[in-house]
Copies of this chain bind each other. A is one copy, B any other.
């Protein structure tokens, strides 16, 4: 199984954290291709930074997805994921949706523990877009000056633990998500001290990717999740132009086969 793991941010230190937890979480034999965004910011806290991260991710995914069984967008908030899912022929998995999916099997109401006050508004919107606001007990976040972005988990473990406790005892969380790629791996270290199950975004994404790759779902060729219809474009990177053309071709093929339904669509 080959996974393309994209850090939508420019911080190679965080890419290293992501890779370490991804390796710990992956099935034996999984090959990881790691990519760090060549353009963007150190980490995403806002909608504007997410817009940038989404564009960076789209370019990498378009250029490098070939030969991979799935693509993981390794930032909480899932920049570009819903968009890329339409366009790519393989599963695309975001950290937020993977963590929320995993958490659904561990408890009803979930709290998200985050690294900064500023990030909460955006996280809440993402949960809402994913249709999971009904399950959200709370978002709780650090209110401290952060040092190195790839050391937050180490330097603020106690404060993060305290937030977890409050989420369980004051907000009614039955399961916790430690949110954000900069916290990758922390859940593993502190779960023994937590009173409820805890989910790591990177770990969840890798495990959900494994599950999807075993399932091998066919990509959508109709409806609201199909590739964009063929139309004029201009000024786009070659890889994105190819992605658009490939998607339109996939839809066209499916329509042809529908006319002669004896041939199954994904008979490979």
Interface size on A, residues (CB 8 A): 110
The answer to whether residues A52 and B106 also contact, given A134-B133, A196-B220 and a CB cut-off of 8 A, is no
Q: How far is the CA of A54 from the CA of B57 in the complex (A)?
A: 14
In this complex, the member of A175, A199, A267 whose beta carbon has the largest number of chain B beta carbons within 10 angstroms is: A175
In this complex, the member of A47, A50, A128, A192 whose beta carbon has the largest number of chain B beta carbons within 10 angstroms is: A47
CB neighbours of A194 from chain B (8 A): 218
**Which residue of B40, B118, B211 contacts A234 across the interface (Cβ within 8 Å)?**
B40
Q: A238 in the interface, Cβ–Cβ < 8 Å?
A: no
User: Which residue from chain B places its CB closest to the CB of A223 in the assembled complex?
Assistant: B168
Cβ-defined contact, B215 with A203, below 8 A = yes
Cβ-defined contact, B125 with A129, below 8 A = yes
In this complex, the member of A211, A236, A244 whose beta carbon has the largest number of chain B beta carbons within 10 angstroms is: A211
CB neighbours of A228 from chain B (8 A): 41, 45-46, 48-49
Cβ-defined contact, B102 with A211, below 8 A = yes
Cβ-defined contact, A131 with B108, below 8 A = yes
Cβ-defined contact, A121 with B192, below 8 A = no
Cβ-defined contact, B172 with A198, below 8 A = no
Q: A256 in the interface, Cβ–Cβ < 8 Å?
A: no
CB neighbours of A162 from chain B (8 A): none
User: Which residue from chain B places its CB closest to the CB of A240 in the assembled complex?
Assistant: B52
Interface residues in A1-47 by Cβ distance below 8 A to B read: 10-11, 25, 27, 37-43, 45-47
17 A-B pairs with C-beta separation under 8 A: A10-B232, A25-B215, A37-B235, A40-B235, A46-B228, A47-B83, A97-B104, A97-B105, A98-B105, A104-B104, A104-B131, A108-B131, A109-B121, A196-B223, A196-B225, A197-B219, A199-B217
Nearest first, the 5 closest Cβ-Cβ pairs linking A and B are A121-B224, A39-B235, A192-B264, A195-B222, A174-B225
